């Protein structure tokens, strides 16, 4: 990496930004992100970035201030005459609101894409979007990475026997099918009915799981309700050990308690969302996405193929 690259981070996930920085051998750019007494966000980039290739690393997880930080950082970089600004968003919030499935509701994922574009981003880099079509919401170039390689390697190293990959709902079948193909396992599906947002009712398990070890693969875990209920349904089918892996650990409400009290033996999560302030139990294990993101940043800067990276991961 040459001297024309600058890495900037907000407060949403500084530990991940620091790992990315170490992988690239590029120090984080000096940047002040603070609050006025009334809560307004103040941003000041402390170094000269005129004519630089700038990468702003910021997940848009809760609270909403993280999104505002990203937008203000983008605006500050644009007004500081950066040559190109890439928004690196390990977790893209509001991704579940990607369509108008009820009367008088917003398509918030599209609104977020518009805000990021208008704030000054020239390009977007993100990871495991909840709905892949969100990539088309951006009117600027966007690269959608996958966490596959990290979780694939983890479970290949475990060398679990009689393993079955389980999709926690129909929407996750595509991701789980690819996961199962790499691991060389059969695929099962948990049929789920969701009466209201953040509430789910497990209905049935489709596939042969009795006497097997299973791994539930999902892109995010929010309240933990779906995951815990899926584990209970699988346990009722006579499975041996239950593992789970989820890219984005939102872990809101009583999620940690639900997972802790569930039949899940171990859950592997990534560091796209900071869990520093969450009291994780020993059931949780964290793997890092820093290497994948760092490699993509390097390729974008060097104008190399990012799609070639998909084949490697």
Catalytic residues: 192
Two tokens at 211? 């006497």
- In this structure, the dihedral spanned by the alpha carbons of residues 6, 277, 257 and 262, taken in order and rounded to 10 degrees, is 30
CA atoms of 117 and 63, how far apart (whole Å): 21
> Are the CB atoms for 98 and 136 separated by under 8 Å?
no
Q: Is 52 exposed, middle or buried (0-12, 13-18, 19+ CB in 10 A)?
A: buried
217 by DSSP, 3-state: which? strand
CA angle, 256 as apex, 255 and 262 as ends, to 5°? 90
Give alpha helix (H) positions in the chain. 14-24, 65-79, 108-119, 148-158, 173-183, 225-235, 255-260, 290-301, 307-312
What's the token pair of residue 136? Answer: 């088309």
Cα–Cα distance for residue pair 195/262, rounded to 1 Å? 21
SS3 235: helix
Residues in the chain: 313
Residues 6+ apart with CB under 8 A from 107: 97, 98, 99, 100
Token couple for 172 = 């996750």
Give the other-Cβ count within 10 Å of 78's Cβ.
15
**Structure-token pair, residue 267:** 């859950």
């Amino acid at each position: 990496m040459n001297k024309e690259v600058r890495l900037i981070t907000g407060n949403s996930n500084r530990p991940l930004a620091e790992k990315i920085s170490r992988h690239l051998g590029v120090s984080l750019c000096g940047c002040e992100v603070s609050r006025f007494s009334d809560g307004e966000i103040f941003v000041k980039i402390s170094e000269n970035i005129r004519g630089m290739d700038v990468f702003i690393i910021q997940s848009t997880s809760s609270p909403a201030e993280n999104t505002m930080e990203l937008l203000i950082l983008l605006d500050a970089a644009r007004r500081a005459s950066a040559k190109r600004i890439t928004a690196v968003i390990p977790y893209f919030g509001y991704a579940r609101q990607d369509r108008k499935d009820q009367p008088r509701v917003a398509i918030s994922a599209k609104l977020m894409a518009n805000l990021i574009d208008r704030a000054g981003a020239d390009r977007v880099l993100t990871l495991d979007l909840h709905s892949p079509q969100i990539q088309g919401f951006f009117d600027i170039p966007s690269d959608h990475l996958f966490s596959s390689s990290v979780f694939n390697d983890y479970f290949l190293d475990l060398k679990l026997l009689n393993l079955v990959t389980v999709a926690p709902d129909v929407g996750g079948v595509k991701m789980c099918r690819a996961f199962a193909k790499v691991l060389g396992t059969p695929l099962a599906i948990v049929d789920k009915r969701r009466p209201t947002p953040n509430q789910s009712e497990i209905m049935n398990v489709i596939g042969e799981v009795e006497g097997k070890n299973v791994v539930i693969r999902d892109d995010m875990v929010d309240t933990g309700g779906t995951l815990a209920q899926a584990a209970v349904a699988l346990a009722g089918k006579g499975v041996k050990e239950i593992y789970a892996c989820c890219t984005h650990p939102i872990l809101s409400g009583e999620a940690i308690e639900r997972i802790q009290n569930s039949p899940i033996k171990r859950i592997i999560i990534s560091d796209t969302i900071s869990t520093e302030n969450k009291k994780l139990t020993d059931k949780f294990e964290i793997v890092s996405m820093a290497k994948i993101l760092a490699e993509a940043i390097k390729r974008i800067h060097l104008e190399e193929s990012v799609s070639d990276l998909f084949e490697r991961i």
